[in-house]
Amino acid sequence: MSRYEALKIPRPEPETMCKGYCEGTGVVPVYMKCGDVSAGVLHIDDETDPELIYLWMVAEKKAPAWDGYHFVECPRCKGTGREP
């Protein structure tokens, strides 16, 4: 099953889809081991991109992740899935 089937969205047109983190879906899965971010300690599986870490932390303040994942809006396309 592809990511597009899983999200129940049509496959994007290669010419117009976002070339950023989301690859045309509009959202990016970001993992941070719960509890470590506030202490400034990173886990080996944690996200390393500062922009995505920031978006994860914003999402975490709204609703804590029970499994460490948040699906955040792609910073490049602002959730549209299309190239800006």
Quote the pLDDT of residue 84: 87
Closest CA to 70 of 37, 31, 25: 31
> What's the pLDDT score for residue 46?
77
pLDDT at 35 over 60: no
3-class SS of residue 28: strand
CA 38 vs CA 23, 24, 48, 58: distances in Å: 29, 31, 15, 12
